[in-house]
Amino acid sequence: MNGTPVEHTDQELASAALRGDRRAFGELVVRYRDGVVNVVYRMCGDGNLAEEAAQEAFIRAWTHLASYKPQYAFRGWIYRIAINAALDALRSGPRTVAIDDLPLESDSEPPEERVVRKERADWVRQAVMALPPASRAVLVLREYEGLSYNEIAAALSIPIGTVMSRLNYARQQLRKALAPVAQAGQPVRAGQSSEQSGGKSFYAPLHNL
């Protein structure tokens, strides 16, 4: 017998938690803390609200564990709760001034670049926040959490066609909102394709950097 700890599945932990096992639930909290905090943050755009609302999401998950269906991914289920907790926090909580939302990744980064980077991040965050909650939720789950269309459909209880249309709408709105950032030549790259196709692209200035 080796000393390797047994890795329980989400379903096993959820089942144990449903029987009142707080340690099992604690393991789920540790497992999904980052994801839930990030979903809440992307939905409410406020770092100070995010952790409080994330805790609220886990408490709701604990009290509604019976509604979790083990045939679906726990991740999608908890993210849906997180989205609702974020929207509730937005409705009820006072907005705080998040001075230090942006982590300082490098002390060696020149202050000017840091300011530009923060401005760009704020612009993106505001554009995301301007989306209707239903479209924002789909965009956050796809772009930031990497859920597949199927997983998003299951998490939000909507058809895949609705996932695609909401995602399409969100991206169209973002393209409009972020056009000035893109055309100002901010140092953002697609990263994958630098192919110049000859025509005028929405993000053409980016390709020329």
Partner 1 sequence: MSERMDEHVSRWIAAYCDGELSGAKLRQVKAHLAGCPACRREVEDLRALSAMLHASPAHQPRTRADRFAAQVALRLPPAGSLADANRPPRRSFWRLAWQSVPLVLIVSWAFIQAVVLVTTPALVAFTSSPSAQAVLAELTRLAPAALSALMPGVPFMGELLPGSALAGWVLPLSEIVLLNLFFTVATAIMFAAWLAIWWIDRREESWEAF
The tokens of 179 are what? 């056009």
CB of 150 to partner 1, least distance (A): 9
CB of 3 to partner 1, least distance (A): 21
Q: Is 131 in the site for partner 1 (CB under 8 A)?
A: no
Stretch (H or E) spanning 138: helix 133-139
Residue position matching structure tokens 């300011």: 115
The only residue of 14, 24, 85, 90 in contact with partner 1, by rule CB under 8 A: 85
The only residue of 74, 84, 89, 90 in contact with partner 1, by rule CB under 8 A: 84
The tokens of 71 are what? 């045939």
| Number of other CB atoms surrounding residue 209 within 10 Å | 10
The only residue of 70, 73, 114, 124 in contact with partner 1, by rule CB under 8 A: 124
Nearer to partner 1, 12 or 102 (CB): 102
Distance CA 59, CA 189 (A): 40
* Site stretch for partner 1 (CB under 8 A), options 8-16, 89-97, 107-115, 171-179: 171-179
Q: Is 89 in the site for partner 1 (CB under 8 A)?
A: no
Which 19-78 positions form the footprint of partner 1 (CB under 8 A)?
20, 22, 25-26, 29-30, 33-34, 37-38, 41, 47, 50-51, 54-55, 57-67
CB of 37 to partner 1, least distance (A): 5
Which 2-21 positions form the footprint of partner 1 (CB under 8 A)?
18, 20
Q: How much is the CA Rg of the chain, to the nearest whole Å?
A: 20
Q: Is 156 in the site for partner 1 (CB under 8 A)?
A: yes
The only residue of 3, 94, 103, 110 in contact with partner 1, by rule CB under 8 A: 103
The tokens of 162 are what? 């609705």
Contacts within 8 Å (CB) and 24+ apart, 202-207? 202/175, 206/182
Q: Is 168 in the site for partner 1 (CB under 8 A)?
A: yes
The tokens of 64 are what? 């509604």
Distance CA 136, CA 121 (A): 16
CB of 66 to partner 1, least distance (A): 4
Contacts of 101 (CB under 8 A, 6+ apart): 46, 47
